[in-house]
Amino acid sequence: MKEFDEYISMVNNALANLKLPSQPAGLYDPIRYSLEAGGKRLRPVLTLAACQAMGKEPITAIHQAIAIEMFHNFTLLHDDVMDNADVRRGRPTVHKKWNQETAILSGDAMLTTSTMLLAIKAGDHLSEALELFNGTAMNIYEGQQYDMDFEKRMDVTVEEYMEMIRLKTSVLLGCACGMGALMADAPFETQVQFFNYGVNLGLAFQLQDDYLDTYGNPETFGKAIGGDILNDKKTWLLIMALREDKTGTLSEIIGSDIEPSEKIDRVRKIYDSLQLPDRIHELIRAYIDTAIACLDHIDMMPEARTFFIDLALKSATRKS
C-alpha cells in the first residue's frame, strides 16, 4: 500500500494530464478552475486504495478514480448555484467568478466528462461500473432534493436526516470504495463490503462536519463557525435539540433576528445542556466501528486493513 499523500499525487497528476480543449474558454476554463481548487481528494484515494488492497496496481483504477472526483466537483459546482454560495475552498464560486449560465453549463459538461472518464479502460467492467456510478448519482440528486425540502420543514426526524445524508454524501464514498474493488476484479460480495465501509465512513464524516461547523476551531476548520446555526440548517444537532428541548426556547430563537454571535452562543448553550457534543461523538464512533467491521469480511493484507482502519479513525477525529 502507498501513503495517503502518494495516492493524492497520482490523482492530481491524472487530473493535470486531462488535456481538456481550450475552446470555447467559457465552457472549459471553469472546469479547470474547479479541479485546480484541490480539496481532500478523499473519494479518488479510496478508489485507488481499494483497488490496490484487492491486489491490483492502483493505476488500474485511475480513470474511474478521477471520474468520481470529477463527478464530486460537478455536484459542488451545481450545489453552489442552488445554495447561492459565494465562496468554495477560499475562492469565489464559479457562478460568482463567471455567471450562472456558465456554472450550469460547465457543470453539465463535467457530468458528461465524468461518464467518459469512467468508461476509459473499464474493459469487461464497463456495464457494472456504469450501473454503480449512475445509481449513486441518482441517490445524490435525491439527497440534495431532500436537503432542500428540509429547509421548509420544522418536523424533520433524525431518521429522515440520516437517510438524507446517506444519499447526499455517503453513497459516493461507498461508490468510490466499491469501484476500486470492482476494477480489481474482486468478487461482488467484497465490492458490497467495501461499499458499506464507504457509506458508514461517509455518515461519520458528515456528522463530524455538522459538529465542526458549530464547535470547530475557526483556524483549523477553514471557514467561519456557526454558519449552520445562523442558517437554521437542519443538522443532526438542531434536529435532536428541537426534539428534546421541552422549554420551547430553541423554537423561539430559530427564525428570530437575534444578533448573529448571540444566536450562535444561545443555540450552542442549548446543545451543551443536552450533552449533544458527547452524544454526536458516540454516534460518529458507532459508524466508524461499523465501517471497520465491514473490513473483517474482506480478505486483504494486514497493511491494507491498517490503511482503511487508520483512515476511518482519522475521519472521526479530524479538525478540518
Q: Dihedral (C-alpha) 41, 298, 167, 164: value to the nearest 10 degrees?
A: -110
Nearest approach in angstroms of CB 74 to a copy of itself is 8
Interaction of residue 144 with a copy of itself, rule CB under 8 A = yes
Interaction of residue 137 with a copy of itself, rule CB under 8 A = yes
Interaction of residue 27 with a copy of itself, rule CB under 8 A = yes
Interaction of residue 116 with a copy of itself, rule CB under 8 A = yes
Exactly one of 41, 78, 166, 263 binds a copy of itself (CB under 8 A); that residue is 78
Alpha helix segments (H runs only) across 84-125: 94-97, 100-119
Interface segment toward a copy of itself; rule CB under 8 A; list 76-84, 170-178, 234-242, 309-317: 76-84
Alpha helix segments (H runs only) across the chain: 4-16, 25-36, 42-53, 62-83, 94-97, 100-119, 126-151, 158-165, 171-183, 188-215, 218-221, 227-230, 236-244, 249-253, 260-273, 276-295, 302-317
Say how far apart CA 10 and CA 206 lie, in whole Å. Answer: 26
Interface segment toward a copy of itself; rule CB under 8 A; list 49-57, 99-107, 260-268, 273-281: 99-107
Say how far apart CA 280 and CA 204 lie, in whole Å. Answer: 9
Cell numbers found for residue 312: 476511518
With CB under 8 A as the rule, give the number of residues binding a copy of itself.
Answer: 34
Interaction of residue 192 with a copy of itself, rule CB under 8 A = no
Say how far apart CA 24 and CA 29 lie, in whole Å. Answer: 8
Exactly one of 149, 265, 272, 310 binds a copy of itself (CB under 8 A); that residue is 149
Cell numbers found for residue 5: 499523500
Interface segment toward a copy of itself; rule CB under 8 A; list 8-16, 18-26, 51-59, 174-182: 18-26
Exactly one of 18, 87, 141, 275 binds a copy of itself (CB under 8 A); that residue is 141
Cell numbers found for residue 270: 442549548
Exactly one of 18, 82, 224, 301 binds a copy of itself (CB under 8 A); that residue is 82
Coil, helix or strand at residue 248: coil
Residues lying near a copy of itself in the complex (CB under 8 A) are found at 21, 24, 26-27, 78, 81-82, 100-101, 104-105, 107-109, 111-113, 115-116, 119, 126-127, 130-131, 134, 137-138, 141-142, 144-146, 148-149
